[in-house]
Amino acid sequence: MEAPPSILDLKTSEYVFGRLVSRKALAVQITISNSSHDYNLLVSQISLSFCEGADDKNQAAPATPDQGKAPAGTPAPAGPAGAAATCTAPLSLSSMDKIVLQGLADRGQSTDPRNVVLRIIEGVGAALVPFPTFVHHIGSSFTPSVAAWNGPFTQGYKIVFPDYTVNQIIRLSNLAFTTNKVIGKQTSETVVAFIPLEVVFSKQEVSTFHTDPHRQFVDLARRSIVRVDATFITPVKPTPAKVASVFFNLAAQRVEVTGDGFDDSAKVILNGKALPTAFWNKGSLWGMFGPGLAVKNGDSDSIKVQMGDGSSVLD
């Protein structure tokens, strides 16, 4: 199925999922609906399909004298999907795995400017603590100053610039698309697919997306489409029961039926009578007939295996 793209701009993606994630991945928000009354929907993949160089391919060809001339600047015709409609070999990029995104978020915690400054503050404070022990001419105000630096100043910085990393990772875990996501019957779910940003865009286009996301979105929307690969989860039909062989073990007073597809409630019926016991044994049914039921090898035509639903084999 196809879905219209809802691309998050850089700032929105940064505020919601973190700075490094927003600079490494293009966040595409998608709402997937399952209108089926009977089956759940299994979504296996979300990808972004587009044509590289589609603008060049869609340029109108020069008109011949017999065809007449089109007005200058007339664009080439495009299908419903824009340039992708004339693309014979579209490129596709799947959404990044959630584990990869969580790794980016963890790395972003150490490279975020707020956290870098905080570690510098804490590192400087930790380095200044032992100074009075080997520099004797430091004034008496040095130790209280270091204590103020490590205490109120550091805590004040944390209050002014709080750390949102934990909440961002939680939102990432809740919203990021993961393979084999199940959408329940008659329900809808919103997911965010993260496409590698520097693979979709060139360096210049990445810069344009950061400064003018509308311009880059219009270009991307014209030559790309979001594809959702999904299938309905349908019950697997049971394998029909098949009998491979029937053997009368007169010494053990049992009839042995081998085959496939027998259920737990299957019974061996001999001469119209259910045998006292019938049970599984590696794809076989053993029916114990006992001394009270006279049988011989020629009785194989009067045997049947009755399944739990009433159906029978070798009837």
pLDDT value at 311 more than 60: yes
pLDDT value at 72 more than 60: no
Tokens read off for 303: 């045997």
Q: Summarize pLDDT for 100-141 with one digit per residue, the tens.
A: 888 888 888 788 888 899 999 999 999 988 877 777 777 778
**Residue pair 289/296 in contact by the 8 Å Cβ criterion:** no
pLDDT value at 41 more than 80: yes
Which residue did the predictor score with more confidence, 260 or 155? 155
Which residue did the predictor score with more confidence, 305 or 88? 305
Lowest-pLDDT range, 211-215, 239-243, 288-292? 288-292
**Residue pair 201/120 in contact by the 8 Å Cβ criterion:** no
Tokens read off for 173: 């875990």
Q: Summarize pLDDT for 52-68 with one digit per residue, the tens.
A: 654 444 443 444 444 44
Q: Summarize pLDDT for 1-36 with one digit per residue, the tens.
A: 655 668 888 889 999 999 889 889 999 999 899 999
pLDDT value at 40 more than 90: yes
Across residues 254-260, what is the average pLDDT?
A: 77
pLDDT value at 300 more than 70: no
Which residue did the predictor score with more confidence, 118 or 224? 118
pLDDT value at 168 more than 80: yes
Measured CA to CA, the distance from residue 217 to residue 146 in angstroms comes to 50
Could you give the C-alpha distances from 90 to 84, 85, 229, in angstroms and in order? 7, 9, 16
Q: Summarize pLDDT for 172-191 with one digit per residue, the tens.
A: 989 999 889 999 999 999 99
Measured CA to CA, the distance from residue 149 to residue 167 in angstroms comes to 28
SS3 for 258? Answer: strand
